[in-house]
Amino acid sequence: MTATDPFQPFANKLRDKKENWMTPSPYDQTRLRNWRFAHVLAVLDALYIVFALYVNFANPVEDPSPPDLIALPVVIGIFWFLGWMIYDLYQNGVESNKVAWWLIVIFLNVFGALMYFFSVWRPRNRPFRG
């Protein structure tokens, strides 16, 4: 009869974890892809806001709207981002001040969604680091 090491299962798990620590799971890969996509949408929103402010205040002309070929995908991205942040607020919102976040996102629209993104969504959804 041989004596078994009570820590052997733990040691096996630790060894397996060390061997596979560089390979993210499919869940982590999806999280990383969603994290990148959300950041692309947030940057797109911020650039559109800067562009709209420049066009309306620094360079006033009769028709201050950007060309339709540029505006349509940007507007679709803005609404996608806004919908994503509203859905996240509904599913995973902060419990302590959920009503305040709803008011901010609803009344400030894109600005509120960007505020929610940087203060709540981004810290909670860190990408896989290993």
In angstroms and rounded to an integer, the radius of gyration of the C-alpha atoms of the chain is 22
Does residue 80 lie within any of the structural domains?
yes
Does residue 14 lie within any of the structural domains?
no
Give the H/E segment covering residue 3: none
- Cα separation of 78 and 108, whole Å? 13
Per-residue model confidence (pLDDT) at position 1? 47
Residue 74 has pLDDT above 70, yes or no: yes
Does residue 120 lie within any of the structural domains?
yes
Per-residue model confidence (pLDDT) at position 69? 58
pLDDT digit string (tens) for 78-104? 888 888 888 888 888 777 888 899 999
Per-residue model confidence (pLDDT) at position 67? 61
pTM over 0.85: no
Does residue 70 lie within any of the structural domains?
yes
Does residue 129 lie within any of the structural domains?
no
pLDDT digit string (tens) for 28-46? 777 777 878 888 888 888 8
109: which 2 tokens? Answer: 């629209």
Domain count, the chain: 1
